[in-house]
């Protein structure tokens, strides 16, 4: 007979130190302080001399529920402080053809493509295409692209939500907002440059030493020092696994451009425009846009990349300062080593094509809380955390690689090289399913799908809807029709009714939704609205 043995001798975690004060650091401090309550003192130590990387940043819808709602912060409180706007998806331009070849565009929007029983509407549409000719999947299966084109809000004037949405935010202001709020709620805030990390006999971090000799000691440490990885990488020696063999971009040049939201309106989507040597993001904030050109230094110099960026924006970029950023894509082999957890860039980085930067922060924090030690760290919990974080990063990596592998452009050496990288086996399986006409990772709603063996929400971060939006957008279409559609003509009839239902809803909403700018006026402070009008 087995009996339970609860370890009463292990030392409980009474204090946790977050090192680093950027958006990852202050998101971690705010989250952990709220989740752990008064049981654990959270202290954040940040350098008074090291600047932040954060720029205008796009997010995913889960940031509302899993972060801001979790902390109990309403949109009316944090959005004005962070110059935030709404985002209903990403508008991809010039990924299929270069501007000289006529260009192209498609939307990758939030939310699930409707299904008729077990058959997604996307695959009913593929059969229609085969029989009748092409129809845009984004504007057929979703309502939001129509609203994006007209710069409308995802909510009615009375606040009722009609579309899935995320946000565009100023990452610097998010860090400032969370800093002030966290300090008010008991987080200890210290400015100091850490010059030494002391490891004890077991190899755990014992304490940190500041430049004036002050010692900072805790049972757990969270490394939010960005690419430096001061704790996880430098002190504990955890190796970095490079993704540069499959993701070619390694640099960016960023520029902020003021705007007049009243005159120009505010786009409720992120733009991702294919360029000669990479792609360019545009993130509309309230009063300006945050923009940047993500490129590969193998194919273009820093100076020429900046020139291409300025040419794209023309007069709007004249006299505006730019910021050059060098980055490395990849992840730590393990994100939790000994008594230290890496969050944000200290743990992993993938280029920002699908707006997953901040998602990795709060998703890892949720995993950390699920496995948080009540005493000595249990290796089983640590291993489970590391497996989950590694899976999330690798899954997103495959999804981003897919954009470049399937893009139609071949006009420059960059685009040709991006198609020649080694395709991970996990991604090849997805591409094979697409060509065979099978849905990819159907969403999980409590019942197993005929087309999926995935059994938890962690395994369906990207669902068939996400894959089809991107693959259909670049004409990477199935070679075969889903077999059941040839056996069940009633499914096609029901699909037609669903397509008409979407068209009807679009007509109704176009006549009733407020503009994005008009809705945001009710959230942002009146004085601020006057200043940018």
Six-digit token pair at 99? Answer: 């501007």
Cβ-based neighbours of 359, under 8 Å, separated by 6 or more: 59, 60, 62, 63
Coil vs helix vs strand at 107: strand
Q: Each residue's pLDDT tens digit in the chain (533 positions)?
A: 455 454 545 678 999 999 999 999 999 999 999 999 999 999 999 999 876 665 558 999 999 999 999 999 999 999 999 999 999 999 999 999 999 999 899 999 999 999 998 899 999 999 998 888 777 899 999 999 999 999 999 999 999 999 999 999 999 999 999 999 999 999 999 999 999 999 999 999 999 999 999 999 999 999 999 999 999 999 999 999 999 999 999 999 999 999 888 878 899 999 999 999 999 999 999 989 999 999 999 999 999 999 999 999 999 999 999 999 999 999 999 999 999 999 999 999 999 999 999 999 999 999 999 999 988 899 999 999 999 999 999 999 999 999 999 999 999 999 999 999 999 999 999 999 999 999 998 754 434 444 443 334 444 579 999 999 999 999 999 999 999 999 999 999 999 999 999 999 999 999 999 999 999 999 986 555 444 54
pLDDT at res. 133: 78
Let me know: does 46 contact 25? Beta carbons within 8 Å: yes
> Is 40 in contact with 189 (CB distance < 8 Å)?
no
Q: Which of 83, 87, 338, 441 is catalytic?
A: 87
CA 370/CA 442 separation, integer angstroms: 26
Q: What is the torsion angle, in degrees rounded to the nearest 10, for the CA atoms of residue 410, residue 413, residue 414 and residue 415?
A: 10
Phi, psi torsion values for 438, nearest 5 degrees: -90, 140
What six digits make up the tokens of 436?
Answer: 């065979």
**Whole-number pLDDT of residue 266:** 95
The two tokens of residue 79 are 């959005």
Phi, psi torsion values for 239, nearest 5 degrees:
-70, 155
DSSP 15-59: EEEEE--SHHHHHHHHHHHHHHGGGSEEEEEE-SSPPP---EEE-
Q: Supply the pLDDT for residue 461.
A: 78
Q: Is 215 a catalytic residue?
A: no
Q: Percent helix, strand, coil in the chain (nearest 5)?
A: 40, 20, 40
| Packing angle, helices 357-370 and 23-36, rounded to 10 | 30
């Amino acid at each position: 007979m087995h009996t339970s043995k609860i370890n009463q001798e292990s030392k409980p975690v009474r204090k946790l130190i977050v090192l680093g004060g950027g958006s990852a650091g202050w998101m971690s401090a705010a989250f952990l302080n709220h989740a752990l309550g008064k049981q654990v003192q959270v202290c954040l130590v940040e350098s008074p001399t090291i600047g932040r990387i954060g720029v205008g940043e796009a997010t995913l819808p889960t940031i509302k529920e899993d972060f801001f709602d979790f902390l109990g912060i309403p949109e009316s409180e944090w959005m004005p402080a962070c110059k935030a706007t709404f985002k209903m998806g990403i508008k991809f331009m010039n990924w299929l053809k270069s501007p000289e070849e006529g260009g192209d565009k498609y939307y990758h929007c939030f939310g699930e493509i409707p299904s008729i029983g077990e058959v997604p509407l996307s695959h009913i549409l593929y059969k229609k295409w085969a029989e009748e000719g092409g129809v845009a999947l984004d504007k057929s299966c979703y309502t939001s692209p129509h609203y994006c084109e007209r710069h409308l809000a995802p909510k009615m004037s009375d606040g009722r939500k009609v579309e899935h949405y995320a946000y565009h935010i100023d990452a610097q202001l998010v860090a400032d907002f969370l800093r002030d709020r966290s300090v008010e709620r008991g987080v200890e805030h210290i400015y100091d440059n850490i010059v030494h990390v002391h490891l004890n006999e077991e190899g755990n971090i014992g304490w940190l030493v500041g430049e004036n000799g002050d010692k900072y000691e805790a049972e757990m440490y969270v490394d939010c020092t960005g690419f430096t990885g001061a704790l996880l990488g430098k002190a504990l020696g955890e190796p970095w696994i490079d993704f540069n063999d499959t993701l070619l971009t390694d640099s960016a040049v960023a520029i902020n451009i003021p705007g007049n939201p009243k005159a120009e309106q505010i786009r409720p989507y992120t733009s991702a425009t294919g360029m000669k040597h990479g792609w360019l993001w545009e993130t509309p904030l309230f009063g300006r846009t945050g923009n940047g050109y993500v490129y590969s230094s193998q194919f273009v110099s820093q100076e020429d990349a900046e020139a291409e960026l300025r040419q794209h924006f023309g007069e709007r970029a004249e006299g505006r300062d730019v910021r050059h950023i060098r980055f490395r894509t990849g992840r730590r082999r393990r994100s939790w080593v000994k008594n230290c957890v890496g969050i944000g860039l200290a743990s992993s980085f993938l280029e920002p094509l699908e707006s997953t930067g901040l998602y990795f922060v709060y998703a890892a924090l949720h995993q950390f809380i699920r496995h948080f030690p009540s005493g000595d760290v249990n290796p089983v919990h640590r291993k489970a955390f590391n497996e989950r974080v590694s899976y999330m990063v690798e899954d997103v990596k495959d999804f981003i690689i897919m954009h470049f592998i399937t893009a139609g452009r071949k006009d420059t050496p960059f685009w040709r090289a991006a198609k020649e990288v080694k395709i991970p086996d996990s991604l090849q399986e997805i591409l094979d399913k697409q060509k065979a006409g099978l849905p990819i990772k159907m969403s999980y709603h409590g019942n197993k799908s005929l087309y999926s063996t995935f059994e938890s929400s962690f395994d369906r971060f990207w669902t068939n809807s996400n894959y089809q939006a991107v693959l259909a957008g670049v004409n990477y279409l199935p070679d075969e029709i889903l077999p059941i559609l040839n056996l069940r003509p009633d499914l096609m009839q029901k699909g037609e009714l669903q397509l008409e239902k979407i068209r009807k809803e679009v007509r109704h909403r176009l006549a009733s939704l407020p503009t994005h700018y008009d809705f945001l006026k009710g959230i942002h402070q009146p004085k601020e609205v006057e200043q940018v009008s």
